[in-house]
Amino acid sequence: MRVWSIIGLSVVLASGAAAIGQAPAGGRAQAAGRPSLEQFFRIRAPGTPVMLPDGSLLMRDWPNGVWQMYRVLPASHAKGQAPNYKPGEATVVRLTDLTDGVAGFSVSPDGGKAILMHSAGGNENTQLTLIEIKPGDATTPALVPVLRAERVQAAVNCWLPDSSGFVYSANLDSPSDFHLYRHDFASGKATRLLAKAGSWSAADVSRDGARVLVEQYRSASDSECFELDVKTGALRDLTIRPKGGGTAASHLVGYAPGEESVIATSDAETGRNALFVIDLKTGAWRQPVPALAAHDLEVATLSGDGSLLAVSSNEEGYGVPHVYDVATWTSLGFPETAKGVIGGTDFRGETLLWSTGRSLSWSNSNARDCGAAWVTTYPVAGAQAGAGGAVTVQVTFPDTQGIDLARFPLPELVKYRAFDGVEIPAFVFTPPGYVKGTPIPFVVMYHGGPEGQHRPIFSVTQQYLLSEGFGVMAPNVRGSSGYGREFLMMDDYAKRWDSVRDGVDAAEWLVANGLSAPGKIATLGGSYGGFMSVACLVEDQERVDAGKRKERLFGAGVNLVGIVNFKTFLEKTAGYRRKLREAEYGPLSDEKFLLSVSPVTRIEKVKAPMFIGHGFNDPRVPVEEAMQLSVALKDRGVPVQLFVAPDEGHGFQKLQNRVYFYERVSVFLRQTIGK
């Protein structure tokens, strides 16, 4: 660990390895029998796996603190018998040992290849590596480089149906634009398919490889869809647009069977992200399941043959799953599961060891379940899940570190009125044994994005704070996704500070309802949530200065990789990010406005102590944001602590850094709002 001094400010840069097991300065001894912070942060569930043809699983996991690739071969391989993946019985093979881990992976339709996506030190310059997957093989495969290019970010978009290659996006030829490329394994070469300005991605490829479904993303409320003719380069517009004109958020899912129609989603007609089928001959579109239009849709996944569609509807933050037979659009049902958020869906098939059908991998997470994964197999003929031969098998088993997660209360969904009457939803988590009406220290957590959304999922940070006696409130301020297009766009550009007002209103609600008291509430957020964490301290003090309240509500703030100066942020963020963020926050040409909503320009209003964390290699929100905030607070005599991790980017990915950071945050909160 090295300690640097910057203008009188103590800045800790640490790899974090030495921090494990050490009590932070000013900390307290762990009570006997009480789970430690490290125990909480070691709670884990493997990422949702991909089921391979031989019944083995390919997945990411992090038993050693960094995400790596693993293959799990079941203990039982008998035909017609559900496989056994229980820990200690199944064979687990670690496939990678990358210093900074694996950010993601994609498996070919035939299950014989996988492309790994990984970068160094959090710089997000994602490289592509191939591994070959052999049936029943328990050995470590060779890692074969596919794309190696400094300062280039690449991502696998989709595969060729015959598994002979894949389509990926990368800013290889233009730092600020993502073009599309096709990589063919036979030649080992890549061919550029689309080279237009903007952020492009591919959703599907026709069986003959002659057509590709592509999208251009401009912002969360503006994206367009096209069919690309590979030979001519012509683009056919498939965007579902509002009848009165204007933009829409349209996204392609894939070709329907026969490839004469396309399945897509769009918010053009109802303001909600709804499901559509687009006829490629006429260009007409229709909603095959009108009832789904009541909620924003997410996680839409087609089976390899296009015959089944899995989709999740976002219902007040909860993820409700649906599976349909595409030919008839009849519901096939879904296994009964606890209320939470369904994620990680992936279709495979059609012949597995224990049945013949299309297998759907999925996971479920809520405040008591950290995300076990399951596989449900639907027979080829179609059947209700749990009947007629459909089988569901648990395939991953979370490590809870011996902590009884069932003792944590599930969150309460509340709604409060904002300054202009807009209804703001929020999840309120209280500690085990909490007595209603008792004011306790509370942490108001702000999500990133700003187009993110707080969901009622398992969070080790939340659960640890609850175990320490803190309450947690997670508001979905205006600008959050999941509540329709109008709500999503309520914070765009000149309306930026309205979302900050919503953030402070969350603390007002806590005090008004007797859950907490002035000075006993802290802000906490990462990325855009970090901006909210600082901006809400500003707004809180401004309400006091305006005579709206006698005292501040917030007694502390925690900012992780947050924006504090929109001008310098836009100037220094990665080029490919700038275009996307200007659409949300405003253009660099409007310097006056950007500075007017930057907390650092109102730094005299921040009087509460702050804890700041940042990754030195952050390409999204450069570390200079943390530095200028820290120095500005230090100059004004406001207590401030800053932790910079030299081997991280936009957030802390390594376990040792997360533990190191949150050990100190925990002490900070106890010494401020927890006194």
Asked if 128 contacts 146 with a C-beta cutoff of 8 angstroms, the reply is yes
Q: How many residues does the chain have?
A: 675
Q: Which residues pair with 262 in a beta bridge?
A: 255, 278
d(CA 194, CA 181): 7
**pLDDT score, position 205:** 98
Which residue stretches of the chain have pLDDT < 70?
1-33, 77-80, 349-356, 380-390
H or E element, residue 126: none
Do 130 and 141 form a contact (C-beta atoms < 8 A)?
no
What single-letter amino acid sits at 199?
Answer: S
Asked whether 376 and 348 are in contact (CB, 8 A), the reply is no
CA-based diameter of the chain, in Å? 74
* Cβ atoms within 10 Å, residue 387: 9
Task: State residue 82's pLDDT score.
Answer: 78
- Cis peptide bond prior to 321, omega within 30° of 0: no
| E-only strand ranges, 38-126 | 50-51, 57-61, 68-73, 91-94, 104-107, 113-118
Cα–Cα distance, 71 to 82 (Å, whole number): 18
Compute the distance between CA of residue 317 and CA of residue 499 in angstroms, rounded to an integer.
18
According to DSSP, residue 649 is labeled: B
Residue 433 CB neighbours (<10 A): 8
User: So what's the pLDDT on residue 356?
Assistant: 64
Q: With left for phi above 0 and alpha for psi between -120 and 50, is residue 7 left, alpha or beta?
A: left
Handedness of CA 660, 666, 667, 672 (dihedral sign): positive
Q: Rg of the chain over CA atoms, in angstroms?
A: 25
The answer to whether the peptide bond before residue 336 is cis (omega within 30 degrees of 0) is no
DSSP string, 324-354: EETTTTEE-------SSEEEEEEEEEEE-SS
**pTM for the complete prediction?**
0.91
| Amino acid (1-letter code) at residue 243 | K
Contact 19, 374 (CB under 8 A): no
**Cα distance between residue 268 and residue 190, in whole Å:** 35
Q: For residue 241, report the phi and psi dihedrals to the nearest 5 degrees.
A: -115, 155
Please list the residues that pair with 223 across neighbouring strands. 217, 249
Say what the pLDDT of residue 30 is.
53
CB 269 within 8 A of CB 252: no
Q: Roughly how many angstroms between the first and final C-alpha of the chain, as a whole number?
A: 29
Q: How far apart are CA 171 and CA 29, in angstroms?
A: 50
Give the whole-angstrom CA distance, residue 79 versus residue 646: 51
CB < 8 Å & 24+ apart, contacts of 193-197: 193/167, 193/228, 193/230, 194/228, 194/233
In this structure, are residues 324 and 384 in contact, taking their beta carbons and an 8 Å threshold? no
SS3 track for 553-584 = CEEEEEEECCCCCHHHHHHHCCHHHHHHHHHH
Whether residue 261 contacts residue 253, with contact meaning beta carbons closer than 8 Å, is answered with no
Find the angle CA(619)-CA(445)-CA(471) to the nearest 5 degrees: 150
- If you search the block for the tokens 């991953």, which residue do you land on? 396
Q: Cβ distance 462 to 489 under 8 Å?
A: no
Kindly report, residue by residue over 381-395, the tens digit of the pLDDT: 544 544 445 688 899
**Residue bearing tokens 């492009």:** 200
Q: How far, in Å, CA of 651 to CA of 295, rounded?
A: 31
Q: How far is CA 386 from CA 346, 383, 392, in A?
A: 18, 8, 7
Cα–Cα distances (Å) from 24 to 30, 465, 561, 666, in that order, read 12, 16, 21, 9
Residue type, 80: G
Beta-strand relationship, 9-13 and 235-237: unpaired
Provide the strand spans (E) within 438-584: 442-446, 471-475, 521-526, 554-560
Tell me, what's the pLDDT at 15?
35
CB 125 within 8 A of CB 152: yes
Distance (Å, whole) CA 270 – CA 249 = 12
Ramachandran region, residue 8 (left: φ > 0; alpha: ψ -120 to 50; beta: rest): left
Q: Which residue has the tokens 């932070």?
A: 24
How far apart, in whole angstroms, are the C-alpha atoms of residue 144 and residue 90? 27
Which DSSP helix (H) or strand (E) runs through 33? none
Q: Which residue has the tokens 């083995």?
A: 56
Among residues 380, 344, 378, which one has the least CA distance to residue 361? 344
Identify the pLDDT of residue 357. Answer: 74
- Residue from 472, 473, 488, 518 nearest 422 by CA: 488
